[in-house]
Amino acid sequence: MNNKPFIIGIAGGSGSGKTFFLNCFLHHFKNDEVTLVSQDDYYIPSGEMTQEENKLYNFDLPSTIDDEQFLLDIKKLVKGEVVYKREYNFNNPLAVTKILEINPAPIIIVEGLFILHFQEIGGLLDHSIFIEADEEVALQRRIKRDGMERGYPEEDVMYKWENHVLPSYREYLMPYRSQCHRIVTNNSNDADDILKVSEAISIELKTQFTKP
């Protein structure tokens, strides 16, 4: 294994199935081979909000992310240092947050909506993967997730989708699609499909950062 970690960026819009792809992808590596740094843990705390305030607040902007700390922590991992980070609780006052211990590893996976937009972070990536899905597929996944996991009314989900999610996706992620090393279209809800794709990609990439 090379001394410098191999950094893989995984970007995808809301409802693209990025999280499921990521979990499948991680499954193909040993625990001590890989570490994950997620953009979701770098939201700038916005304080407790009412349901209406939460509906109107736009989380889908680069300005909601502490990209300086995000970059700093990635650089620490590259240098072989352990990163300690408080888990983000999505403004849920009832959530029990924990301190994340992110250990350095030969493979660093950086994931999030804006990782390509943040130029210094994008510049660190050795390989980038773009996960996408048809708009209607992505919307139905978003409605299901926000309803089941976060208790958001469908009306609020639709408001955010039309006014926050889609405009942000088109401005801050789509322009970088053609620059990615690989594009994965994820319209299937069949887990086997993504398992096969993620396995094929992991096998191919391992040949790039391992020696015989």
DSSP string, 62-96: GGGB-HHHHHHHHHHHHTT--EEEEPP-TT-TT--
Which residue's entry shows tokens 């090393």? 181
Cβ proximity of 77 and 101 under 8 Å = no
Question: What are the structure tokens assigned to 113, written together?
Answer: 């909506």
| CA separation for the pair 176, 35 (Å, rounded) | 24
* 3-class SS of residue 34: strand
Cβ proximity of 198 and 21 under 8 Å = yes
Of the listed 32, 40, 156, 190, which one is catalytic?
A: 40
User: Is 40 a known active-site residue?
Assistant: yes
| CA separation for the pair 198, 20 (Å, rounded) | 10
Residues 196, 202, 207, 212, CA torsion sign = negative
- What values do phi and psi take at 45, rounded to 5? -55, 130
- Residues taking part in catalysis: 40
